[in-house]
Structure formats: structure tokens, C-alpha cells
Amino acid sequence: MVAAAAANADSGTVVRVIDGDTVVVSINNNDQTIRLLNVNTPETKDPSKPTECLGPEATKHLQDVLPVGSKVRLEFDVERHDKYGRTLAGVFNESNQLVNAEIARLGLGVPMVVDPNRKFLPPVEAAYEEARTAKTGLFSETVECTLPAQLTAASEALTAAEGAEPATTSADASHTVSDLAAALVMAKAARDLLSATRDTEQSIVWAAYKSGEAADKLTALTTRITRGESTLTKVTDQQASLAAAEKKAGEERVAAAARAESERKAAQEAADAAKKAADEAAAAEHARAVAAEAEAERIRNLPPAPPVQQYVPPAPQNVPPAQQYVPPAPAVPANPAPGYTGPRCYAPGGKTWRPC
């Protein structure tokens, strides 16, 4: 029995760590690639796949527990090699820890069966459940890339966006729309992970939840997404309505400002015209005053007028005195007519007369 056990084990020296579940060990001066049995860690080396969540951390852990040059003990199961030619084994470090299980205990790997090899599956599964209970590694809600963390972040983002204060401006509504849209992107990414095929050869992010638990979370998340999309539609409509109202109010403010400016200009023009008229009237009055003062000054500066000489008529010429005209006596008719007053003596010119 001891000989059989010895034939199913070996020892060697660590040459290098390839990734979280693969290491190169020198056995009898022959380097062999060892694939840890019954545990699978996130992918880091496959050129056709992106580096998976906690893959680098799993690789770093294996480098810590299996440093280059350290001694390891290898135990084999039914089949020693996989289809890639790697040696399948349980690996024990110098502290006699089953490294396969320690990886799972930290939540950095999940149980995996490569039939017919199941020798190390029980301790790996037990360690895996410890990690689930402790919510460490792939079960953590605080490691950003894990599925629990993504679900938690999506749920919190949806809750925060849906619970935002009612928008009173289009900017507030736009902010809420952006938050909701971002939260929905996160939620849908998590939903896609939950609803994808649970194939450990493709991804191990589903390891955080058992099949039934994942289904329940998928249902709950789908409901949240539907509600979030409804809220997004409402807020988007509200944003458009607020934007239209703000645009109208802005146009009214611009129009009012234009009217006020026009009225101000008209008042200013009227005031300017009145001032101009007043200035012109004042200027005209000043000009008149200046002219009057100039005329007064001119008059004051005139030379004195010569004295007025009294008119003395010329002395009379020696003219013989005129003889007084004595008209001839009128002839008296023999038989005067009725109303006859007697003869008339006319003054020179023949316009006035007197009885003769």
C-alpha cells in the first residue's frame, strides 16, 4: 500500500508560476507543467479571452504560496495528464497545505471536475463554501469586477437615480436621465452575466451564486431594469417639457428685454430731443440777449447829436400891400323869385359865399 501511494506521488522544485492554477515544477531535473486538480481560477493567459475578474490576484497568490525554488509534493489521481499534456495533481507546499483548496478558500478559484479525477474535489468544495460564507474573492460585494459587486452597484445606482429629487429644471432632469441611463447600463451588464450559460470554461463569475440563487437574482434584477426604464422614459419626457418651457420663458425674457430696450431708447431719444430743443432755445435767447446788449452798447457809443436849431422864417420881401377886393354889387332883379335871399358874394375859388 505504501509503495502504491509512493508511486502515485512525486516531489519537485517550483520553476515558475504560469497563472492561478498552473505551475511549472522541476521533477528529477525535468520541467513539467502541473495543472492543479479540481480547481479553476479566472483566466489570464488565453489570448482569445480577456483577463477575467481576480485572475491576476489568483496568479499572485499562487506565486506567494509557491515561490520559485520552493519544494512541492505532488499527488496524482486516476489520470495524470489532460488533453493539453499537462500533469494533473494535487499540489502541497512546504507547509503541507493543499494549494488547490487554499486558492478556493480565498475565493480565487471554483471547484471543477475533470473526470474521472475527483480526489481533491471535496476539500476544494469545502474551502469554496468557506469563501462564499465569508464573502471573499469572487463572492465579495466590494471588489468592483465581481458579480455580487456589479449587482450591488447596479442596484444602488438605480435606487439613487430613481430616488432623486423631482426635477424643477431641464438641467436637473438631464442629470437624472444620465444617472438612470448609466445605472441601467450597469444593471443590464450584470443581467447579461446572470443570464449567460454557466460554463466554467468560459467564465467563473457565476461562481458567486448557486443556480437557483442566480435565477432569483436575475428575476429581481430584470424587474428593477423594467422599472428603471419606465422611470427613464418619464424623466426624459419631463426633461423635454421643462426644456420647452424654459425655451419659451427665455424667448419671452428676450422679447421683454427688447421691448424695454426699445422703450428706453425712445425715452432717451425724446429726452435728447427735448434737451436739444431747450439748448437751441437757450442758445437763441442768449444770442438775442447778446445782440440786444451789442445794440445797446453801439447806441451808447454813438457820437452826440448836434443841437437842434430853431426855425426862423425868412424876412418878408418888400411887396406892395394888397388891395382888398371889393366885389361889385349884385343886380337886384325887378321881381325876385320866391325864396330869394339876395345876392351872394363868393370867396375866391367859388366854394364859399356870404350874402352881399
Put simply, whether the predicted model's pTM sits higher than 0.85 gets the answer: no
Angle at which helices 170-195 and 211-300 pack, to 10 degrees? Answer: 160
Contact 43, 65 (CB under 8 A): no
Confidence of residue 353 (pLDDT cuts 50, 70, 90): confident
CATH topology of domain 2-137: OB fold (Dihydrolipoamide Acetyltransferase, E2P) (2.40.50)
What are the residues whose beta carbons fall under 8 Å from the beta carbon of 180, sequence distance 6 or more?
158, 161, 162, 228, 231, 232, 235
The mean pLDDT of 148-156, rounded to a whole number, is: 91
pLDDT of res. 334: 60
Secondary structure of residue 257 in the 3-state scheme: helix
Neighbouring residues of 331: CB distance < 8 A, sequence distance ≥ 6 = 343
DSSP 28-76: TTEEEEEEETTEE---SS-TTSPPPTTHHHHHHHHHHHS-TT-EEEEE-
pLDDT, one tens digit per residue, over 216-228 is 988 999 999 999 9
Q: How far apart are CA 249 and CA 40, in angstroms?
A: 63
Domain boundaries, the chain: 2-137, 147-256
Question: Of 20-24, 138-142, 193-197, 344-348, where does mean pLDDT reach its minimum?
Answer: 193-197
pLDDT tens-digit profile of 241-270?
999 999 999 999 999 999 999 999 999 999
Point out the least confidently predicted range of 48-52, 115-119, 266-270.
48-52
Averaged pLDDT score across all residues of the chain: 87
The better pLDDT of the pair 142, 317 is held by: 142
Longest alpha-carbon distance in the chain: 221
The strand pairing partners of 11, in sequence order, are: 73
pLDDT of residue 337: 64
**pLDDT score of 4:** 44
Bridge-based pairing state of the strands 22-27 and 30-36: antiparallel
State yes or no: pLDDT of 5 exceeds 70.
no
Which pLDDT does position 209 carry in this prediction?
81
Give the pLDDT of residue 27.
Answer: 96
As a whole number of angstroms, the distance between CA 161 and CA 222 comes to 17
Burial of 328 (0-12, 13-18, 19+ CB in 10 A): exposed
Element spanning 18, H or E: strand 9-19
Poorest-confidence range of 41-50, 159-168, 172-181, 340-349?
Answer: 340-349
**Alpha-carbon distance 339 to 252, whole Å?**
111
CA distance 244 to 242: 5
User: Known catalytic residues?
Assistant: 35, 43, 86
Question: What is residue 330's predicted lDDT score, i.e. its pLDDT?
Answer: 61
pLDDT at 329: 65
